[in-house]
Amino acid sequence: MHIEYSSGFIIYREKKGVMEFLFLRKSNGDIDIPKGHIEKGENALRAAIRETMEETGLNVEPDKFFSMRRYYWFRFKGETIKKYLTVFLSRYLGGEVKVSPEHEGFEWIEPQKAIAEYSKKHYNYDHLSEALEYLEKRSMLEELNSAYSELPGKVTGWELSKKFVKGEGPSNARIMVIGQAPGATEDDTGRPFVGRAGRLLDELLKSAGASRKKVYITSVVQFFPYGNRMPTESEVNACKPFLFNQISIIKPKLIITLGSLASGVVCGVSAIKSNHGSVLRKDGTTYFATMHPAAAVRIKSNMPILKGDFAALKPLVKEALSDKKEKE
């Protein structure tokens, strides 16, 4: 058996409100995304950028949160070949498509039509479906965040910051992390969990087998409570519908709640100091309640507790990601 590695880009655009992907047409009539072999000394992304330029003449801008790896088998000249394919995503940046000589032309095709054509050929890797799901959910989150960011002007007596800190991560993430509210650093940067507690969270996630870039991170309240105070009940109630809409759009397999407020609101676990490490399963989603990393930043004796919880979390992370791994 021979093993090959390749990578490429799904390039998308919206034309008159309709999503389309760019495909190259082969001499045998098949369609494919721009992709090719990973050369010695290249990583998958560099190879994908090079191959896309060589095959289409287009520049790309990799989406920060989308990449996927699959493998498939095929026979060539009597030999079984196992090919690993890494796929990235980019919006169309404009410019003329200049097709390489090995292709007969190019087409912009609606994803569902392209998926149907792939299915006729019995191709068994699902990068098109996953990219489409990602883009559709991202659009829904953008619409939701737009409405959420306008909340300060609609609530009488608003006492939180007016700067909205939106959630961050893949729109189709299998793991979601929910904290209490942004801190001062998050309010300044507009990004969730980037202060000391955020850096600790990154380490804890890594120890549990989860990369931050593959996790969607948000908070119960997405506006900074000045003085780093606990959000009031009325503030939580104003923000809660937006949080649950995020969950319903993303549909994560595993939700990690950090601290008493998030654990109480999302999965009904109170007194987190006594009930940390609690696991609940409901409607196909697993909930894991633990202490907030800020508690370990402030009080060092909490660090072993938090590390122990994330060690126990490891098999749940593996379970949540299991059907996102390489498959035929």
Give mean pLDDT, residues 291-297: 96
The number of angstroms, rounded, from the C-alpha of 62 to the middle of its chain's C-alpha atoms is 13
31 occurs within a structural domain: yes
Q: Are residues 175 and 102 in the same domain?
A: no
Identify whether residues 100 and 152 lie together within a single domain. Answer: no
DSSP class of residue 256? E
Within this chain, do residues 119 and 155 fall inside the same structural domain, yes or no? no
Q: In the predicted model, is pLDDT for residue 83 greater than 80?
A: no
With respect to residue 113, please indicate whether it lies within any of the assigned structural domains: yes
Quick one: pLDDT band at residue 324, thresholds 50, 70, 90? low
Tell me the DSSP string of 166-206.
--BS-TT-SEEEEES---HHHHHHS-SS-SHHHHHHHHHHH
In-domain check, residue 131: no
Position 27 scores a pLDDT of: 87
pLDDT at 28: 86
Domain range holding 283?
A: 142-324
**Segment 189-194 long-range contacts (CB within 8 Å, at least 24 positions apart):** 190/163, 190/164, 190/165, 190/166, 191/165, 192/165, 192/166, 192/167, 192/168, 192/217, 192/218, 192/219, 192/222, 193/217
In a domain, 135, yes or no: no
**Residue 71 is encoded by which pair of tokens?**
């493998």
pLDDT category, 274, cuts 50, 70, 90? very high
**pLDDT score of 158:** 97
pLDDT tens digit sequence for 177-218: 999 999 999 999 999 999 999 999 999 999 999 999 999 999
- Residue 19's H or E segment, with its range, is strand 18-25
Domain with residue 11: its CATH number is 3.90.79.10
Split at pLDDT 50, 70, 90, the class of 73 is low
Confidence grade of residue 323 (pLDDT, cut at 50, 70, 90): low
Chain segment 162-181, per-residue pLDDT in tens: 999 999 999 999 999 999 99
Q: Are residues 86 and 179 in the same domain?
A: no
Residue 214 lies in a domain: yes
Taking CA atoms, 222 is separated from 80, 163, 173, in Å, by 52, 9, 19
Give residue-wise pLDDT tens across range 219-237.
999 999 999 999 999 999 9
Mean local confidence (pLDDT), 71-87: 78
Shared domain check, 191 and 254? yes
Query: Which percentage of the chain shows pLDDT scores above 90?
Result: 85
- The whole-number average pLDDT for the span 46-74 is 93
Boundary-marking domain end, from 78, 97, 125: 125
Same domain, 165 and 243: yes
Q: Clarify whether residues 188 and 301 are in a common domain.
A: yes
**Other beta carbons within 10 Å of 273:** 10
- pLDDT score, position 74: 66
CA distance 91 to 10: 8
Q: Please report which confidence band the pLDDT of residue 325 belongs to, taking 50, 70 and 90 as the band edges.
A: very low
The percentage of the chain sitting over the pLDDT mark of 70, rounded to a whole number, equals 95
Handedness of CA 249, 250, 251, 255 (dihedral sign): negative
Are 283 and 172 in a shared domain? yes
193 and 288 in a single domain? The answer is yes
Residue 130 placed within a domain: no
Tell me the C-alpha to C-alpha distance, in Å, between residue 249 and each of 13, 95, 137: 22, 33, 6
pLDDT of residue 78: 74
Domain assignment present for 170: yes
Instruction: Report the C-alpha gap between 170 and 203 in whole angstroms.
Output: 19
- Grouping H, G, I as helix, E, B as strand and the rest as coil, residue 257 is strand
d(CA 123, CA 108): 19
- CATH number of the domain bearing residue 247: 3.40.470.10
- Domain co-membership, 168 together with 305: yes
Instruction: For residues 35 and 83, give the distance between their C-alpha atoms in angstroms, rounded to a whole number.
Output: 12
- Last residue of some domain: 98, 125, 152? 125
Query: Residue 277: what are its φ and ψ, rounded to 5°?
Result: 85, 5
- Which of these ranges, 9-23, 76-90, 292-306, has the smallest mean pLDDT? 76-90
Residue 132 lies in a domain: no
Q: Which of 99, 125, 151 is the last residue of a domain?
A: 125
- Give how many domains the chain has, as a whole number: 2
Mean pLDDT for the chain overall: 93
- pLDDT tier, 326 (very low <50, low <70, confident <90, very high otherwise): very low
Do residues 70 and 158 share a domain?
no
Give Cβ neighbours of residue 221 (< 8 Å, ≥ 6 apart): 160, 180, 181, 182, 231, 235, 236, 239
Question: Residue 327: is its pLDDT beyond 60?
Answer: no
Q: Are residues 215 and 120 in the same domain?
A: no
The yes-or-no verdict on residue 278 having pLDDT over 70 is yes
pLDDT tens, residue by residue, 109-131: 999 999 888 777 655 568 899 99
Total-model pTM: 0.92
